[in-house]
């Protein structure tokens, strides 16, 4: 579905980002794997992606840093020649009730989860536009749609991603670039593994499908949105949440 395309995925060394990178590689896309932290994890994703016969490269980048993001994006375009798909997946959590939340925890989540989307989109926009078939996919969350106690920073950032998605879709449509958001619910990743057991049990009992989602189920939607099959879909927010936010 993605043969001949080049995809950039942020936060791609673990969890949802890793699975998106691997499924895009499996579908024929060359992948630029952006990570921060453990280089060995990124190298493992690169190796798995290359097993599908595509090119894969890794780049360490704090996407919240405007100038560093610019440098990395310029390097990726130089290395691959062009970029067709951008998946803004990088994200962090610093959960706490609002009255207990520190300014630094609020700012950190906004910087990575929202400003990082702006940084990467801005710096890769021209290359994506030149491709003539560009796709931008932003990973939001149902928390950005319905709010979530203890996640004032995360919910605000993810709601901002939705607004940014719709604006990007309108601004870039003239260049045949689509921009859509995916809003996962509870997904079984390292991030959700640290949730209190009571929260996990609440999720299992309140989600209509009675389970958490998997990274693969999020990646399936990302591959569809990156493909030519989604060519007339833009500005949408697709919930992948097992019916949690109906």
Q: What is the pLDDT of residues 194-229, one digit of tens each?
A: 666 777 777 778 899 988 999 999 999 999 999 999
Residue 143 lies in a domain: yes
pLDDT at residue 59, rounded to an integer? 98
> Residue 170, Cβ neighbours under 10 Å: how many?
12
Residue 40: give its domain's CATH number. 3.40.50.720
Is residue 232 annotated as a catalytic residue, yes or no?
Answer: no
What is the tally of structural domains in the chain?
1
Interatomic CA distance for residues 10 and 91, integer angstroms: 9
Q: Give me the catalytic one of 35, 154, 202, 232.
A: 154
Residue 73 lies in a domain: yes
Residue 242 lies in a domain: no
Q: Is the pLDDT of residue 141 over 80?
A: yes
Q: How many residues does the structure list for the chain?
A: 246
Residue 94 lies in a domain: yes
Interatomic CA distance for residues 132 and 185, integer angstroms: 32
Residue 149 lies in a domain: yes
pLDDT per residue as tens digits for the range 85-105? 999 999 999 999 999 999 999
Are 153 and 105 in contact, with CB atoms under 8 Å apart? yes
Cβ-proximal residues to 170 (8 Å cutoff; 6+ apart), any chain: 235
Task: Find the domain containing 118 and state its range.
Answer: 6-236
Residue 219 lies in a domain: yes
Residue 245 lies in a domain: no
Residue 243 lies in a domain: no
pLDDT at residue 180, rounded to an integer? 98
């Amino acid at each position: 579905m993605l043969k001949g395309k080049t995809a950039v995925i942020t936060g791609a060394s673990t969890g949802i980002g890793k699975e998106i990178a691997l499924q895009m590689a499996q579908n024929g896309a060359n992948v630029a794997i952006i990570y921060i932290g453990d280089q060995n994890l990124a190298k493992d994703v690169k190796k798995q992606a290359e097993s599908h016969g595509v090119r894969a490269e890794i780049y360490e980048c704090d996407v919240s840093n405007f100038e560093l993001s610019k440098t990395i994006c310029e390097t990726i375009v130089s290395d691959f020649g062009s970029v067709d798909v951008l998946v803004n997946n990088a994200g962090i959590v610093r959960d706490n009730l609002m009255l207990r939340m520190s300014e630094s925890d609020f700012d950190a989540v906004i910087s990575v989860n929202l400003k990082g989307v702006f940084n990467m989109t801005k710096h890769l926009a021209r290359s994506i536009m030149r491709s003539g078939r560009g796709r931008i996919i932003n990973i939001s969350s149902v928390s950005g749609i319905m709010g979530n106690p203890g996640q004032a920073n995360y919910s605000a950032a993810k709601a901002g991603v939705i607004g940014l998605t719709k604006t990007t879709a309108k601004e870039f449509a003239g260049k045949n670039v689509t921009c859509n958001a995916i809003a996962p619910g509870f997904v079984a990743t390292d991030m959700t593994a640290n949730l209190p057991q009571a929260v996990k049990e609440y999720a299992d009992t309140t989600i209509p499908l009675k389970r958490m989602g998997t990274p693969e189920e999020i990646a399936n939607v990302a591959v569809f949105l990156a493909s030519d099959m989604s060519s007339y879909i833009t500005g949408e927010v697709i919930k992948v949440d097992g019916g949690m936010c109906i």
